Amino acid sequence: MAASSSATVVRRRSLRRRTRWVGLGFAALPLGLYALVVLVPLAQSFQYSFFKWDGVTASTWVGFDNYVSFVTDPVLRSTFGHVLVLIGFFALLPIALGLLSAALLTRAKQPGMAVYRWIFFLPQVMTTVVIALVFKRIYAPDGPLNTALRAVGLDSFAKTWLGDFTWALPALGLIGTWVTFGFCMVLFISGTSAIAPELYEAARMDGAGPVREFFAVTLPGLRGQLAVALTLTITAALRTFDLVWITTHGGPGTSTLTPAVALYKAAFQNPQVGLAAAIGVVMAALCLVIAVVITRLSERD
Amino acid sequence: MISKTERVVNYVVLTFLALLVLFPIGSFILSALSPDRSGKPVGVGDFAWGNFATAWRDADFSRAMAVSMIIAVVVVAGQVMLGLLGGYAFGVLGVVGDKVLFPIVLLGMMISLEAIIVPLYYQFRTFGLTNTIPGIILIHLGMGVPFGVFWMRAAFRALPRSAFESAEMDGAGPLRMLRSMAAPMAKPAIYTLILLSFMWTWNDYFLSLVFLHGDNQTATVALGVFQGKYVTQINLMAAGGLIVAAPVLALYIVFQRKFISGMLAGAIKE
Amino acid sequence: MSVRKAIAGVAAGLALSLGLTACSPGGGSTDKAEAPSTVSTDVASAGAVTLKFTDFWGAAEGEWIKQVITDFQKKYPNVTIQRTTEDWGQLNSTLNLQLQDDGGPDIATANNGWQSLGTLAKGGLVLNLDAYAKAYGWDKEVPTTIARQNQFTTDFKTMGSGSWFSTPMARTSLIGLYYNADKLKSLGIDPPASLADLETAAAKAKAAGEVPFEYGSLDSSTTVLLGVQALLADKKKLNDYIYDDPSVKAADVGMTEAITLVKKWADEGYYPKNYQGIDYQTAVANYVGGKGVFRWEYTGSLGLNASQQGHYGYIQLPQQSGSGTVGVGAAPGAMVVSSKSKHPDVAAAFLDYMMSAETGQAAVDRGLVPALSPDAKAPASSLSLTGESAAAAKLDSDDGYVPYFDWSSPTMLDTIGANLQLVLAGKMTPDKFTEAVDKDRDAFLAQQS
C-alpha cells in the first residue's frame, strides 16, 4: 500500500511537471502576441530614449540627455506636479465616493439599488472622445455649469473653467472623478459582499451605527480592493492623455500639461522621438514602482 | 433592520450622486436634440430627431461604424480565445517560469500606449501591416493579452479544484477539460470579458488615429474629424457623439445584469 | 518576491534587446537630397498611371480639389488620382510615418517649416523638386517670398533658400482683419485703413457697447498676435528671423510691440468677457453669428456662405511705417512628392497644375482666395472675397509675404501659444515673452549646427 501510494505521488509530481510544459504550450500564443506587440516595442522605446532622433533622419547617441532634460526642463518637470493634483481627483476622490456609494448600496437591500449601481457605472462605458465633448460643453463660458451657477445666484463662481489658470486642472480632474468613481464602487461592492455577514451582525449586536460599522468592519475588509483601486487610478492619472488632449491641449499656458501629453507632443508634433521615449520609459517605471509599493503596503500587517 | 431616517438619507445621498452623474449626459442628449446650432435645450415637441440622420450622413458613419464593428467583433473573439488559453495555462495547468512570466504579463496592464506606439508603428510597417484592419486587430489582441489572462486566470482559480481532479482521473486531456468543463463553468467571467473587450476596442481612439487612414478610419476617429468640422454646430456634434457611443451603451443596457454581476463576481480575489 | 524577479526579467530583456539592436534607430541616410536628374514634363505618354493623394481639405476646399483632380484627369485621361482626406491633426502627426510606407501617398499636403516639411526633406522622404522647378519655370513664375517658403538648403541648416522640396498652389491663406460690415455701418465707422484707424474704431465700438474683437484664447489662438506683428515688423528682418538668421532677434521684428498691443486690447476689454474660456471654433461661430465687430483670422477659416460673404469685409492693413503692405501668408498646405513614388514626373505635373490660373479660378468660384492668378475674378456680391483677393494680389505684386512665425522652430507654435496665454492672464511680461521666443528659436538653431 505504502509503496503504491508513494508511486502515485511520484506520478502526480511528474504529471504536474509535464502539465507545466503543456501550460507553456497553451500560453505560447497569448505570450508571443503580447511580446510582439508590447514587449519588443517597449524595449525599442527604451533604446530610442538614449538617442536624439527626429523619427526620420539618422539618430545620434546622447546617453542620458533625454532623461536629464525631462527632469531639468521646468515645463516638463511641472507635469509631475499636475499629476499629483490629478491623483487627488482621479484616485482619492473617486475612492472616497466609491466607498460612500458602495456602503450605502450594500448596507440596506432597499429597492432601486440596482438602478443606482447602473447609473454610477455608466460613465465607464462611454468613450473618452465623447466624454471630452460632453464636458467641453459643460464647462463652456455659457455652458450648463455656469448657467446653473447663475441660476442659483452664484454668479461670482461662474468661471471660464478650462481657460482659467487656476481652475483648468481641477476642472479636468473632476471629469476623472466623474468617470472613475463608478468603477471604484463596483470594486468595493464586490469586496463588501465577500466580507463575512457575521462580522456585521457582531458589530450591530455591539450597537454600532452605520458609521462605526463602516470603519470597524467594511474598511478593513476592503484592503485588497483598495490596493487595486489605488494602483489602477493612480496609474490612470499618470497616463491621462485623450481627455487633456481633446479639452485643453495642456493649456492654458502649460497648466494642464501631463507627461503623456508632453510625450505625444514630443513624438508626434515636434520631432523629438528620443525625448518621447524617455518620458514613456519614466512613466512605465513610475507605474511599476507605484504598483509594487501599494501591493507591499497592502500586504503588510 | 435599518431605521427609516437612515433609509431616507440613503436615498437622498444616492439620488444626489446619480444626478451629478446624469446631468452632463442629460444635457448632452438635450443638445443633440436641439434644432438650434448652439445646442440650447428645447421642449419635447421641438426635438430635432433629424440631427442624428444629418450627423450620420455627414460624418460617413455607415462606413466608419462598419469598420469599427468588424474590428471589435474579431478582437472580442480573439481576446476571449487568448484569455481562455492563457488564463487556463496560468490558473490551472501552471506554466514553466510563471513566477517571472506572470508578473511580466501584468506589467502590460500598466504600460501606456503612447510609450510604445512609435516603435510599434515601425515594427508593423516592416510586416506591411500598417493601415490594414488585420494589423490593428493584431495590436488590439496583443495589448489585450494582459487583462484577458489576468481575468480568466482569476476566474479559473475560483473554480473548485475537485472538479479538475475528477476530470483528470477520467483521463480528460487539458484541451478537452478547458473546452468541456472549465470554459462553461467560467461563463460569467467570459461575458464580462466580452463586454469589456468590446468596449475597449470600440472606444479606442489613439491607435486608430495613428494606424488607420482613409477608408479604414474607425467611428471614434470619424467622430474626431466630424467634431473638428462641426464644433460650431453643437447639436450635430452631440448627435454624432451619441451615435458613436450608442453600440456600447446598447450592450450595457441589454447586458447590464450580466455585466455588473460579472464584474462583481470576478472580484479580484487575490 | 515575484515582482523583483519580474523587474530583473524585464531588465534582462531590455539589455538583450539593446544588444540585438545595436544599430541606432532610423539609420536612414541623409544624402538623398540630390534632385532626380532626368525629368519629363510629358504626362500624356507616361502610360496608365495611378497616383495616391492625401490632403486634409473639407467643405469648399474639398470641392475645389475634387474639381482640380477631375480637370487634371480630363486633360490626361491616362492618369487616375485616388484622393484620401484626413483630419489635419491626424495627417500632420502621421505624415512622416505614412511616407515611409510602401503603400503611402505619392502626393500629400505637408506643413511648411521645420516641424514637418523640414524633417521630411532632411529625412529624404520627399523629393527634391529642383529639376521640375527648372523644367516648369517655377523660379520665374512664383514670387520670391512665396518660393522661399518651400525651400531648404541641401545641408538642411537653413530654410528659405536652396532647393525646392514642396510647391505652393494657386490658393493662399493670409492672416488679416475681417470686419462686420453691418456693424460698422450702424456704428458709423468706415473700414479702417491703418492700425491707428483700427484702434480708434475699436474704442468707438467698445463705447457703443460692442465687442471690438471677437477672440478666444482657450486653445491658444495666435492669429491676432501674428496679424499685428506683420504690421509692425520690418519685412526683411521678419523673413530672416524665421529663415534661421541668428543675428536677428525677436525684439527686432516687432514681437514686443505686438504682444504689448495684444495685451493692451485685452486690458481695455476689447475681447469678449470670457475670452479665456472660448475655444477657436466657438469664437468663429460667435463672429459669424453676429458677435463682435472685427476679427483677426486666416482667410477662408470663417466658412462664410454666399450670403454671409456680402456682410463681412476683409482688409490687409498697410504697415504702420507706411511702407507698403506686408502680410502673413502661405499656401494652405505645402505640396510634396513622396520619394517612394514610382511616377514622380506625373506627380510633379499635377503640382504644376495646382499652380495654374485655372485652379485659381476654380478656387474663386468656390469662395476661396486665389493666388498666383492675378486674373481670377471674384463675384462682386462677395464683399469678403473681393477684399481677400485684392489682398492676395497686392501681396503677390509687392512680394510682401512673410511666413507664419511658428515655422522658425519645431516647438515655436507651442511656445508662443502657451506664453500668449500667460501674458493675457498677466502672468508674464511682454519682454519676457520676447525672451522666451528667442530662447526657443536659438536653442533650435544651436542644435541644428
Per-residue model confidence as pLDDT tens digits over A140-183? 888 889 988 999 988 888 888 998 999 999 999 999 999 999 98
Quickly tell me which residue has 468588424 as its cell: B70
A59 occurs within a structural domain? no
Could you tell me if B17 and B136 lie in one domain? no
Could you tell me if A151 and A267 lie in one domain? yes
Could you tell me if A136 and A13 lie in one domain? no
Please report, for the domain that includes residue B126, its CATH number: 1.10.3720.10
Could you tell me if A21 and A152 lie in one domain? no
Could you tell me if A267 and A150 lie in one domain? yes
At C239 the pLDDT is 92
Nearest-5° Cα angle at A266, C244 to B204: 140
At C1 the pLDDT is 38
Could you tell me if A222 and A91 lie in one domain? yes
Could you tell me if B112 and B204 lie in one domain? yes
Percent of chain A with pLDDT over 90: 33
Could you tell me if B111 and B159 lie in one domain? yes
A56 occurs within a structural domain? no
User: Is the CATH number of domain C174-330+402-448 3.40.50.300?
Assistant: no
Cβ of B18 under 8 Å from any chain A Cβ? Answer: yes
A203 occurs within a structural domain? yes
At A11 the pLDDT is 53
Bridge partners of C372?
Answer: none
B270 occurs within a structural domain? no
For residue C90, the distance in angstroms to the closest alpha carbon of chain A comes to 9
Contact criterion met (CB < 8 Å) for B111 and A42: yes
B112 occurs within a structural domain? yes
Range of the domain at A22: 2-48
Sign of dihedral through CA atoms A255, C413, C64, C45?
negative
Contact criterion met (CB < 8 Å) for C24 and A44: no
Percent of chain B with pLDDT over 90: 33
Contact criterion met (CB < 8 Å) for C87 and B224: yes
Half-sphere exposure for C294 (CA within 13 Å, toward CB): 32
Could you tell me if A181 and A265 lie in one domain? yes
For residue B40, the distance in angstroms to the closest alpha carbon of chain C comes to 14
Cβ of C421 under 8 Å from any chain A Cβ? Answer: yes
3-class secondary-structure state, position C401: strand
- The domain C44-172+331-377 is classified under which CATH number: 3.90.1150.10, 1.20.1250.20, 3.40.50.300, 3.40.190.10? 3.40.190.10
Asked if C44-172+331-377 and C174-330+402-448 have one fold, the answer is yes
Contact A241, A260 (CB under 8 A): yes
- The beta strand positions in A5-122, using DSSP E, are 51-52, 60-61
A15 — pLDDT class (breaks 50, 70, 90): low
Interface test with C, best of A31, A54, A133, A161 (most C CBs within 10 A): A54
Question: Which residues in chain C are closer than 8 Å to A268, comparing Cβ atoms?
Answer: 93-94
Could you tell me if A140 and A77 lie in one domain? yes
Could you tell me if B122 and B217 lie in one domain? yes
Residues of chain C falling short of pLDDT 50: 1-3, 14, 16-22, 27-33
B239 occurs within a structural domain? yes
- Evaluate if residue A194 carries a pLDDT over 80: no
H/E run at residue B169: helix B161-169
H/E run at residue C296: strand C294-298
At A6 the pLDDT is 54
Could you tell me if B138 and B233 lie in one domain? yes
A58 occurs within a structural domain? no
Helix boundaries (H) for C166-209: 181-187, 195-207
Could you tell me if B18 and B135 lie in one domain? no
Alpha-carbon Rg for chain C, nearest whole angstrom, is 23
A179 occurs within a structural domain? yes
H/E run at residue A114: helix A113-121
Question: Which residues in chain B are closer than 8 Å to A236, comparing Cβ atoms?
Answer: none
Nearest Cα residue in chain C from A46: C14
Q: How far apart are CA C152 and CA A81, in angstroms?
A: 40
B220 occurs within a structural domain? yes
For residue A250, the distance in angstroms to the closest alpha carbon of chain C comes to 9
Contact criterion met (CB < 8 Å) for B248 and A127: yes
Could you tell me if B11 and B80 lie in one domain? no
> What per-residue string of b and e applies to A82-114 under the rule 16 or more CB within 10 Å gives b?
bbeebbebbbebbbebbbbbbbbbbbeeeeebe
Q: How far apart are CA C107 and CA C50, in angstroms?
A: 11
Could you tell me if A7 and A110 lie in one domain? no
Contact A294, A231 (CB under 8 A): yes
* Average of per-residue pLDDT across B65-81: 96
DSSP secondary structure string for all residues of chain B: ---HHHHHHHHHHHHHHHHHHHHHHHHHHHHHT-SSTT-----GGG--THHHHHHHHHTTHHHHHHHHHHHHHHHHHHHHHHHHHHHHIIIII--TTHHHHHHHHHHGGG--HHHHHHHHHHHHHHTT-TT-HHHHHHHHHHHHHHHHHHHHHHHHHTS-HHHHHHHHHTT--HHHHIIIIIHHHTHHHHHHHHHHHHHHHHH--HHHHHH--GGG--HHHHHHHHHHHHTT-HHHHHHHHHHHHHHHHHHHHHTHHHHHHHHHHT----
3-class secondary-structure state, position C174: strand
Chain B 59-118, residues with CB within 8 Å of chain C CB atoms: 99-100, 102-104, 106-107
Contact criterion met (CB < 8 Å) for C25 and A139: no
Q: How far apart are CA C164 and CA C154, in angstroms?
A: 10
What contacts A96, CB < 8 A, 6 or more positions away? none
Per domain, the residue ranges of chain C are: 44-172+331-377, 174-330+402-448
Could you tell me if A41 and A111 lie in one domain? no
Could you tell me if A18 and A139 lie in one domain? no
A53 occurs within a structural domain? no
At C22 the pLDDT is 46
Please report, for the domain that includes residue A80, its CATH number: 1.10.3720.10
Domain count, chain B: 2
Could you tell me if B130 and B24 lie in one domain? no
Per-residue model confidence as pLDDT tens digits over C210-245? 999 999 998 889 999 999 999 999 999 999 999 989
- What pTM value is reported for the model? 0.83
Domain count, chain A: 2
Could you tell me if A29 and A91 lie in one domain? no
Contact C233, C402 (CB under 8 A): yes
Question: Which residues in chain B are closer than 8 Å to C86, comparing Cβ atoms?
Answer: 213-214, 217, 225
Could you tell me if A123 and A188 lie in one domain? yes
End-to-end CA distance of chain C: 50
Range of the domain at B37: 4-52
Contact B41, B27 (CB under 8 A): yes
- Which set of grid coordinates corresponds to residue A235? 496609474
- Among residues B32, B52, B72, which one ends one of the domains? B52
Per-residue model confidence as pLDDT tens digits over B96-111? 888 888 888 888 887 8
Q: For residue C439, what are the CA distances in angstroms to A274, B57, C8?
A: 21, 48, 42
Chain C 213-272, residues with CB within 8 Å of chain A CB atoms: 216-220
- Among residues B52, B70, B90, which one ends one of the domains? B52
- Which set of grid coordinates corresponds to residue C420? 500668449
C-alpha B235 chain-centroid distance:
26
Nearest-5° Cα angle at B12, B7 to B13: 100
Q: Of A184, A134, A225, A182, which Cα lies nearest the Cα of B256? A: A182
Strands C49-55, A60-61: pairing kind = unpaired
